Structure 1
């Protein structure tokens, strides 16, 4: 627990330093800011005479991607990245009345990451980072909607290396020690009573961020996160069960986004995500979304 407090204190110090530097020395380079909002939707419907069993549907997804980066000092770089996504799907019944179903969640993400790098003009840069991951709505139990659960907090310190940087393109990797707190609100009985719990683990984390612009219309963004736990607060509770060593497996989160701009406000996005967390599922999980919609560049 003392290690948790130490890492937490270091990360808080970095964030406070970055915040206090926002208004410091306006002669320094300006913030590199980016904020994009996109909305995609699809709708299908069929007449009563349609043969084939298809059902009408309405889908919508909203995404917000923002970032702010600045070389606050010659020796310190700070970057904050925010990703928000939420979407729903409604389907039409196949009966003669064709009632529409209640909206069901199809996409849900909150991801906020802050990284401070000490740019000492060496082969690697020391860093401290803080990341919050959650979702807006847990709708796994329809009768009991829960918001902002689970919440995963990750604090990490280590070394980083920027392999490539040119204008808006970048390839950078981080390797270090990380501590994670996973806070859950769980339904514990048939009366839908809930109970809060917190799991803590610590280990080694590797994060690689890639941003590449192929031309003015085509762009790739990728993030690969690997995590190997060395400590788990609830290991005694699973000892002797078939899940005893699941927490020791390497967690994988690989996100890929390819964006193709058809015009200033119309874009096609291909999103693919590969997840592996043995404590959640012993099989890998894959998600793919292909969407066309409107994009608004706010900054």
Structure 2
């Protein structure tokens, strides 16, 4: 079993900022664990501008913004493990992880900062009545296809979910020259409806609200969908269906260990286990992909204080 003063779970912007803060606060023995094959998290997909004004007083793309923290993280010689998935955290701060290179790993930590981000979670209205069909993707998967690998997921696309993620992806596909036949949603409030209709109309994409998908047509790949509302059923031909699902904190392994936020209403980063802190979208879903730099740096500082007091 490995032993480390601080283990950070997640190598996105929150984990990077927390690690940098902890190192600058005097913690020398740090290891960061990231499930993907690179540092940076969701910001690696954000190739548009609108980042960096608070930290750097200049407008950057998401990739430029996070790269500055990756560079600083690497300059500080903080240890990290890529392609490593944390599968369990115990209340006595033992972390179990798996990786192709090291197999099963156990790490005993004095302190843990949990920055594992968010996961997509289906709503009740999203029911895909099929199996074994290609051409059905989550929005985050398609974002990775387009923004990182440069692939369009299909030629004729329908997006289910007129939320922030779905609308942004529709706009991105439009910019890249793709064809979105419609954005569909059954749970959009009246106040949001006109704003979404206007936004999608600017890029010539129909918005079909109060519809549910009732059936998917196809043999090996999706060929179309049947949608219905109170007036009946209609068919839309498409070769790609994108599920723009709402994001939920990726905190399942903490809940399984009964590790809880002390004050959920105030989104405090402390938990009921001393020395364990939660930051970023793992704590709550932030409005911006930049998260909360102040919150992340505070976690690093608080972890350093705990380690000094404990060791």
Could you say which TM-score interval applies, normalised by the shorter chain? Answer: under 0.3
Which of the two has greater helix per residue?
2
Which of the two has greater strand per residue?
1
Higher relative contact order (CA 8 A, sep 6+): 2
- TM-score w.r.t. structure 1 length? 0.23
- TM-score w.r.t. structure 2 length? 0.22
